[in-house]
Chains A and B, each alone.
Chain A
Amino acid sequence: MSKELEKAGLPVALVSAMFPVAMQVRANRIVKGVSIPHPCGDPSLPKDLDARLRREIVRTALKALEAEVTGPTVFSPGIP
């Protein structure tokens, strides 16, 4: 699905916990998600830290959209 968006000329930042699979299916801008049932955040963290982590993931995805890539590339969110 994300590849069809890219084919239409839309850069896609794919937030996924299954980044090896995302690499295998040749997604281009891959952002490491936390885990499959909660890619954008971590419920084991206190609420405010969880929200900061989520913001970091989204910020990384925005950065990925600005990045020049030539093939599948993984972007890792920093720990806030």
Chain B
Amino acid sequence: MTTIVHIVNQFFAGLGGEDKAGMPVGVIEDVAGAARGLQLQLGEEAKVASTVYYGDNYFHEHKEDAMKAILEAVRSAQPQVLVAGPAFNSGRYGVSCVEVCNAVANALGISCVTAMHGENPGIGTYLDFANTRVYCLPTAETTVGMNDALKRLAKFAMRLARNETVGSAQQEGYIPRGIRRLEQTDRPGAERAIEMLLKKIRNEPFESELPMEVWDEAPPAAPLAQVKERRIALVTTSGVVPWGNPDRFKTYRNTHWRKYNIAELKELEPGKWETVHGGYNVAYMNQNPHYGVPLDALRSLESEGAIGPGKLYPAYYVIPGNQGSPAVMRRVGQEIAADLKKDNVEGVLFVAT
């Protein structure tokens, strides 16, 4: 018999509305609130062993404690699958469902499924994590869609419990996470591409095998008045790193970044630096690292006063950008931004290759 744990907020646990949103994490060793509906849909196949709940505000205001208590409660029930929500268009609830799913999937190695409306801010969090073990099903905007959502959650949870192969988002109906998977086919790429092209020419519907990432727009950050008085840092995806590649960057699909000290340096001496990047010919940059990290130019501008004394950040940031997935690069960008803000950097020179 499959064991499932259901995560709900205080409202869907039947414990109260906004006035109870400060309620800490609790466990009901049975079904309560929405979990009762989930159990009905699961029927005899699976048992909701416990309902774990928390106040919408409590979760976000005491995230560390909340997450610890939730992980403990889930772990002790030893479920095969975790179900969270449905959260419909409730923002705090939706974000918490995704965060709990992500944490449980990582800590316990089990699959998790949640559900919410496409405009729930939790979807952004879901895309950021892009966790291969976490699925989110679309729901209606309000609880009008409760029955339908629970029915689909139950069905999906059972498939995860049986370790069935889950296909693409388009086939399976979950919200796409931006994860690309390799597939085998016995028809060569050229044949498939020409077939798609012919369909396109005939104005027939066709389906790309590599849907393009939809780029979100970031409004420009405000300009700097008097750049020479501002703290500036250099960030690069060129892949220039100290000779020997001490942090073991790969030539493609890196997931971590580093910063390297340049405080005492006037220039980057060839032979002391190397370029790790599988997307272009690195010979030029190996001969002259300044093509990726223009330290000589920065120092020269510093001596002219175009950059204030001591205003160049004492380290540069790097991740070889080749084949970086948008989700990873978003996370890396956020981490570097946080690090720069911590050290009061005000503007960034970014060298991309």
Residues of A within 8 A of B (CB): 1-18, 22, 24-26, 28-29, 33, 36-41, 43, 50-51, 54-55, 57-59, 61-63, 65-71
Contacts and interface: CB of A to CB of B under 8 A. Distances in A.
Interface of B: 215-228, 230, 232, 235, 237-238, 280-285, 287-288, 290-292, 294, 296-298, 300-301, 306-307, 319, 321, 324, 329-330, 332-334, 336-338, 340-341, 345-353
Contacts of A38: 284-285, 288, 291
B291 to A, nearest CB: 4
Contact of B337 (A10, A33, A39, A62): A10
A8 B280 contact: no
A59 B306 contact: yes
Interface centre among B218, B225, B238 (most CB of A within 10 A): B218
Contacts of A41: 288, 290-291, 294
B301 A62 contact: yes
Nearest to A56: B297
A40 B220 contact: no
Given A12-B221, A40-B290, A43-B287, 13 more contacts: A1-B332, A2-B235, A2-B350, A5-B348, A8-B338, A15-B351, A37-B353, A40-B351, A41-B288, A43-B284, A50-B288, A66-B223, A66-B225
Nearest to A61: B349
B281 A37 contact: yes
Given A8-B334, A38-B285, A62-B307, A15 B350 contact: yes
B351 A39 contact: yes
Nearest to B324: A1
Contacts of A8: 334, 337-338, 340-341
A65 B227 contact: yes
A58 B232 CA distance: 12
B266 to A, nearest CB: 13
B348 to A, nearest CB: 5
Contacts of A17: 353
A79 B330 CA distance: 34
Interface centre among A12, A33, A51 (most CB of B within 10 A): A12
Per CB-CB distance, the 9 closest pairs between chain A and chain B, nearest first, are: A4-B333, A8-B337, A1-B333, A28-B220, A38-B291, A3-B218, A55-B297, A16-B352, A11-B221
B185 to A, nearest CB: 29
Contact of A5 (B216, B227, B235): B235
Contacts of A40: 290-292, 294, 297, 351
A13 to B, nearest CB: 5
Nearest to B238: A39
B288 to A, nearest CB: 7
A19 B248 CA distance: 29
Contacts of B288: 38, 41, 43, 50
Nearest to A5: B337
B227 to A, nearest CB: 5
Contacts of A15: 349-352
A59 B220 contact: no
A5 B352 contact: no
Nearest to A8: B337
Contact of A1 (B283, B329, B349): B329
A66 B221 CA distance: 11
A29 B294 contact: no
Contacts of A51: 290, 296-297, 300
Contacts of B297: 40, 51, 54-55, 57-59
21 contacts: A1-B324, A1-B336, A4-B337, A8-B341, A9-B222, A10-B345, A11-B347, A12-B221, A12-B350, A13-B348, A14-B350, A16-B353, A17-B353, A28-B220, A37-B285, A38-B288, A51-B296, A54-B296, A55-B301, A62-B232, A65-B349
